[in-house]
Amino acid sequence: MKSAFTSNRVISTWITIAFAISLLTGCQPGEETIPVETIAFTPSSALVGDTITLTGTQFTADTAKNIVSFGSQKASVVAASTTELKVIVPDGSESGKISVKSEGSTGISASNFNVFNLYIGGFGENSNPSAAVYWKNGTPTILSGPQWAFGRDIAVSGKNVYLAGTIYFGFDYKALLWKDGLLKQLSNETEKVYLNSVFVSGNDVYAGGFAYYGTIPTAVYWKNDQLVKLGPDNGKDFSQLNAITVANNDVYAVGRQKYLQADGKDVATYWKNGQPFPLSLSEEGLNSEAKAITVVNNDVYIAGDEYVYNVEYQGSYATYWKNGQPVRLNDIKTERAISFDIKVVDNNVYVAGMLNKDNKFMAVYWKNGVLTKLTDSQSATAYGIEVFNNHVYVVGNEWIDGRLFPRLWIDGKQTDLTGKGILSGTAYSIVITQ
């Protein structure tokens, strides 16, 4: 015969076990638990604000009775059946398990869901003439600084957000870098420095642009606080840096530079570890400029423009170079175009830019040379492009009735970035990251 002490100890043990289960699963003792393997999700990653699909076996068709959580963040359920839920990835959520509680049954996904965020860099006008701004998942952050501050390029590393830009003081301007909203003026030897690009590799921050020595700009970049000159600072030889990146421990920069052997023309140029490589040196009647770069599997892709001036016609090609070989994206005899950004995803080449046809300046992008028009207004430009989960994200601006609107296009559908303190402005750069 068991003693009363033994029986009480058994009961106490079961209470303790039940309490532990309730902490781990969110269930109360006696509630049924959905088998973990029955909760799956599609796709495996998404942006904040995207709708994903959960599949299981013990959901309820009443959306209000399904409680879905991404960590500590509750998600909105927009459609439900007993085996499927449509939910919106909530703001503030992070990668990890998804839990579902439905009429007393609780389960947790077997694998982690990957949450991504969309960051946009640029400038906006509010009470000040212009302020550097970045948007995270559509919400703007207006950065500190004096009037006439322009954000240009954005980079994200972990939870740190960097924005490169410039502040104007009359006829002078200063290169500035914001990290998590805190302003830092980069060291320089001249009064005029313009910052175009920022890239983070490990613990190193690279910021590039150009500095004036006398009246002539010179391509420069900073690695952390150390200034590196890519062009001569003799006040005679022109060079300009537009973008910088790091791949396989090599530092790449792109821009333009004058070459004597090209009769003093501006020539699209990329620098690898400080060594310049002209991209269109030999063609007659041609000025060119490189504006963006990406390195994929040791292949170097560069986007830019080529300007043609001859007796037959004048105009510009939107061009990208793959390992130095040009690909021209428009027919210069009927239209003019320029390009600003390039991405390569699954061997597909995406280029963002502007097309001028019939005196209409349209924001556009090309995928493997095939044109997609984003606007039909009189003046708009696409400055940045990203591709995620087979969706194309493009940022830029559009002039309407004398007002400049910052824009985001998702698969061609326009999103206005004004509001929440932003009246007008431009979106220049875009990053999608965890």
Q: What's the confidence (pLDDT) of residue 280? A: 76
pLDDT digits (tens, 9 = 90+) for 239-259: 999 999 999 999 999 999 987
* Cα separation, 244 vs 219, whole angstroms: 11
* More confident site: 416 or 430: 430
Provide φ and ψ at 9, rounded to 5°: -65, -40
Task: Give yes or no for residue 409 having a pLDDT over 80.
Answer: yes
Q: Residue 7's pLDDT band (boundaries 50, 70, 90)?
A: very low
Task: Give yes or no for residue 29 having a pLDDT over 60.
Answer: no
| Range with the poorest average pLDDT among 147-151, 308-312, 381-385 | 308-312
Sequential DSSP letters for 110-132: SSPBEEEEEEEEEEEESSSS-EE
Backbone region of residue 236 per phi and psi (left: phi > 0; alpha: psi in -120 to 50; beta: other values): alpha
pLDDT digits (tens, 9 = 90+) for 46-94: 999 999 999 988 899 999 999 999 999 999 999 999 999 999 999 999 9
Handedness of CA 153, 122, 306, 308 (dihedral sign): negative
pLDDT digits (tens, 9 = 90+) for 69-82: 999 999 999 999 99
Angle CA 229–234–238, to nearest 5: 70
295 within 8 A of 247, measured Cβ to Cβ: yes
Task: Give yes or no for residue 405 having a pLDDT over 50.
Answer: yes
Query: 405-409, long-range: CB within 8 Å, 24+ apart, which pairs?
Result: 406/120, 406/122, 406/124, 407/363, 407/380, 408/120, 408/138, 409/363, 409/374, 409/382
Sequential DSSP letters for 322-381: ETTEEEE-S-TTT-EEEEEEEEEETTEEEEEEEEEETTEEEEEEEETTEEEE---SSEEE
Q: What's the confidence (pLDDT) of residue 3? A: 43
Task: Give yes or no for residue 24 having a pLDDT over 70.
Answer: no
Looking at residues 221-226, what average pLDDT do you find?
93
Query: 391-398, long-range: CB within 8 Å, 24+ apart, which pairs?
Result: 392/350, 392/365, 392/367, 393/118, 393/430, 393/432, 394/352, 394/363, 394/365, 394/430, 395/120, 395/122, 395/427, 395/428, 395/429, 395/430, 396/352, 396/363, 396/426, 396/427, 397/425, 397/426, 397/427, 398/363
* Cα separation, 296 vs 343, whole angstroms: 9
Q: What's the confidence (pLDDT) of residue 34? A: 52
Nearest residue to 57 via CA among 8, 102, 14: 102
Q: Residue 26's pLDDT band (boundaries 50, 70, 90)?
A: very low
Q: What's the confidence (pLDDT) of residue 38? A: 62
- Residues with Cβ within 8 Å of 11's Cβ and at least 6 positions away in sequence, in order, are none
Q: What's the confidence (pLDDT) of residue 282? A: 57
Q: Residue 281's pLDDT band (boundaries 50, 70, 90)?
A: low
pLDDT digits (tens, 9 = 90+) for 188-199: 666 689 999 999
Q: What's the confidence (pLDDT) of residue 13? A: 36
Place of tokens 């796709």: 43
Tokens for 329? 């994206």
Q: What's the confidence (pLDDT) of residue 16? A: 38
* More confident site: 17 or 426: 426
Average pLDDT, the chain: 87
Q: Taking the model in full, what pTM does it have?
A: 0.89
